[in-house]
Amino acid sequence: MTEAAAQQTGREPDVDVVVVGAGFAGLYLLHRLRAAGFRARGFEAADDVGGTWYWNRYPGARCDIPTTDYTFGFDPELEREWTWSEKYAQQPEILRYLQFVADRYDLRRDITFGTRVEEAAWDDAAGLWRVRTSGGETVTSRFHVMATGCLSVPKQPDIEGADRFRGEVHLTSRWPHEGVDFTGKRVAVIGTGSSGIQSIPLIAQQAAELTVFQRTPNFSIPAHNGPAPAARVERLAADRAAYREAGRWSRMGVPGEATELTGVGTPEDVRRERLEAAWEAGELQVITSVFADQGTNPESNEIVAEFIREKIRSIVTDPETAEALSPRDHYFGTKRPCLDTGYYATFNLPHVRLVDLRTTPITTITETGIETTEESVEIDAIVYATGFDAMTGALVNVDITGRDGGTLAEKWADGPSTYLGLMTTGFPNFFAITGPGSPSVLSNMAVSIEQHVDWVADCLIDLRDRGMTTIEPTPQAEEGWNRHAADCAAITLHPTANSWYMGANVPGKPRVFYPYIGGVDGYRAVADEVRERDYLGFRMSGPDGERCTDGVVRRLQPDVSAVLEAMAQLDLPPLESMPPEQLRAFMDTLNADRPQGPDVGEVRDGVLLGPAGDLAYRLFRPASPGPHPVVLYFHGGGWVIGDQVSDEPLCRDLCVRADAVVVSVDYRHGPEARYPAAVEDAEAALHWVAAHTGELGGLPDQLVVAGWSAGANLAAVVAQRARDAGGPALRGQLLITPVTDSTMATGSYRENAEGYVLTAGVMRYFWDHYCDEDRRSEPAASPLRGRLDDLPPAIVVTAEFDPLRDEGIAYAEALRAAGVPVEHVNAHGHTHTSLSMVGVVLSGARFRAEIAAHLRALLPETAPV
């Protein structure tokens, strides 16, 4: 600690840093802190180092990441001095490795063993933490770091009568160090997660009878354990530094090649080849990435899931048992998949049987056994393989009190809230290694732990170098990170499962997605960027004052960001540099490769008579019985590009979600036919569709005008004109990222002028080709300047990163002020174009669902005729 900091607080803390836990994270952190010159003290509840690998000693306990990767990578000498014996090391070997690390770096002298940290309270006046241990000692420190692991607090059995059983009771998470002999005994195992799947085959080798009580079947693949894979060993030996760096910048923390193949888009023979190769590889990183979309597309996921179920059926001889072991209640990967050695074959043994608790639940545990709805099973020993209070259990189970007396348990009562999974507001100088909101359990923990420890150590060094004594995230940064983490999860299938990732295994625990699913590589980039941007989102203070660079590090939706990055790599010419004909051809080329959108009942093309000739339209009809409401839709494209099919994916999506006929009509474009030609065509289309509603399969009193971008401009204009003309009557208007004013002077134009496809320059290009400058203020060009009372209810959709955002908001507010009912959908994290990218930008689906829900509310059900 600096002399100035000591003078500020009036006392020197006992140590600079208290570290709780002596597993992978605690050991490496103590090593880094000592090397940086910090005084650190560790506390560990166990009698030795090891963390998870000290406590979890059940039969078959081993890592599920290859030991080539599940290892410290910070010191080449350490790797040269330690050689793993097999592909997936067992618990005793991993514990010996961590003991070796502790000895090599002389770490035990900084650790107090057999001692729990029971309380930690922040003293704001002194600027330090007061830490009380189970030994009655109180230690003061400038910084407090919880390195207690994500899977360290056992979930206690929550079964009726569990405390009555008189036989042996064991938890896989707290296995006796002397081991257990089940020879000749009747054993029950409750739970078929990772610890159950690993231990059941070995328990079966000893037990006279083994009954497995399965709550939920889990996906598992054979580990094919043995020597470390030769290819990995050779790659590591050839260039250790490059191999480790590849792991650090991989999605899971294990080097591997990403695929662009999709499950539904890959030929059956190629699918089979990839799936069989993944089965034989016996690695989670491989089986979870067979297809690029298996984590987001239910159809592709089902291909992988059914392949594994097929393998189960080929191994387990009894069809009923095989079916009971085959997961069907969650998508593959949404619960942690397992690696096993002979798990499924164990159920072919005559003394092993499975009880499916979905069909015959446990009613109670008695003094001598377990009763279900169908039988009483007499047993000698129960093994609870029921898992952990994951991610947050070890953090909230310590009485941690921050500023103003608030506790961490109270703050996280509705779910954890962190910045980067590292810190949380209201708790200065408090860090959690691999906390909620970081990749942690979705990654190779060894790599994620090293990244977190390095970030924390570097942060403390930076604070010291700057003369700062405290650091804390800002509310804005924390809220932004929570939203980003939730956005990342929302585009995947993971939140659909009742998994411990969601806290579903612990009664009363908040149901949120706890880890960060954006990948080890994506997370590392964020953490590095935060530090490079002067600790964006953190407030630092010291004797000489405060320093804060507030902000949100990731505001775009993750898939929107990916699309923009992919487009940037194409190095395309500016859109406004192309003449209209070239721009139209370019957009047609892009549209040719896009997903077409969901299936509908019917697609039909036709023409209607416009003021200057025929106008083409394409009709999309739902598969449900009609007649249906009708949505007259005008396409986007700045009144210069596009046609009746250019927004087809969006029209199909709207048709299905709203259960409405969608009629997409073309109109004349500038510069060949300048304003007001497009308005005249749109008005003619409205009158024609209203007159032919029945022929189109629609209900005559349920007509809505809709559009996207320039098309939304036309929809707003014809709604005003229909009111002025006394008809046609409209149920509503749906305006998706509309153009409502020509001034181009709003804050959103300044904020989003570049980088988001529709730029200020592109919008200026569109206006110049569409409308003479002296006419742009007319209400038929800028509907915000028109009379807004007596208009039909409106749904106005705006996107956060859109130059048109503020004029869309202004239109919604002006409508509301004029007495028009308005629903405003604010698509946070989206750009002007991303909401229309159906099947490409998955995060847009929830906003399109919201749009459709508002639209259905405008269109009450009418009995088919």
pLDDT digits (tens, 9 = 90+) for 622-675: 999 989 999 999 999 999 999 999 999 999 999 999 999 999 999 999 999 999
Position 593 scores a pLDDT of 87
Tokens of 550: 């507030």
Position 864 scores a pLDDT of 40
Contact indicator for 615, 607 with CB cutoff of 8 Å: yes
Could you say which DSSP state residue 549 is in?
B
Contact indicator for 779, 811 with CB cutoff of 8 Å: no
Query: Each residue of 717-768: pLDDT tens digit?
Result: 999 999 999 999 999 999 999 999 999 999 999 999 999 999 999 999 999 9
Contact indicator for 219, 306 with CB cutoff of 8 Å: no
Q: In this structure, which amino acid lies at residue 663? A: V
Tell which residue, 410, 425, 412, 432, has the closest CA to residue 471: 425
Could you say which DSSP state residue 126 is in?
T
Tokens of 476: 């804005």
Tell which residue, 420, 424, 391, 429, has the closest CA to residue 410: 424
Give the whole-angstrom CA distance, residue 261 versus residue 256: 15
Instruction: Give me the mean pLDDT over the 784-791 stretch.
Output: 98
Position 820 scores a pLDDT of 98
Whether residue 10 is predicted with pLDDT greater than 60 in this model: the reply is no
Position 9 scores a pLDDT of 45
Give the whole-angstrom CA distance, residue 276 versus residue 269: 11
Contact indicator for 780, 725 with CB cutoff of 8 Å: no
Query: Each residue of 252-271: pLDDT tens digit?
Result: 999 998 999 999 999 999 99
Position 860 scores a pLDDT of 75
End-to-end CA distance of the chain: 81
Mean pLDDT score of the chain, rounded to an integer?
Answer: 96
The owner of tokens 């799947």 is 197
Instruction: Give me the mean pLDDT over the 64-77 stretch.
Output: 97
Query: Each residue of 839-862: pLDDT tens digit?
Result: 999 999 999 999 999 999 998 754
Can you tell me whether residue 137 is helix, strand or coil? coil
Position 738 scores a pLDDT of 98
Contact indicator for 531, 458 with CB cutoff of 8 Å: yes
How does residue 7 score in pLDDT terms, banded at 50, 70 and 90?
Answer: very low
Q: Model-level pTM?
A: 0.94
Could you say which DSSP state residue 112 is in?
E
Instruction: Give me the mean pLDDT over the 403-424 stretch.
Output: 97
Position 4 scores a pLDDT of 39
Instruction: Give me the mean pLDDT over the 523-543 stretch.
Output: 98
Give the whole-angstrom CA distance, residue 16 versus residue 140: 8
Counted residue by residue, the chain has a size of 865
439: Cβ contacts below 8 Å, ≥ 6 apart: 253, 448, 515, 516, 517, 518, 519, 520, 523
Tokens of 846: 């929830």
User: What are residue 238's phi and psi, to 5 degrees?
Assistant: -65, -40
Whether residue 513 is predicted with pLDDT greater than 60 in this model: the reply is yes
Tell which residue, 29, 45, 51, has the closest CA to residue 144: 29
Position 156 scores a pLDDT of 86
Q: Do the strands 661-665 and 613-621 form a parallel or antiparallel pair, or are they unpaired?
A: antiparallel
Query: Each residue of 319-369: pLDDT tens digit?
Result: 999 999 999 999 999 999 999 999 999 999 999 999 999 999 999 999 999
Tokens of 77: 């000498």
CB neighbour class for 814 (10 Å; exposed up to 12, middle 13-18, buried from 19)? middle
Contact indicator for 603, 656 with CB cutoff of 8 Å: no
Position 861 scores a pLDDT of 59
E strand residue ranges, 611-743: 613-621, 628-634, 661-665, 698-708, 732-736
**Helix 240-248 vs helix 520-532: crossing angle, to nearest 10:** 90
Position 214 scores a pLDDT of 97
Q: In this structure, which amino acid lies at residue 51? A: G
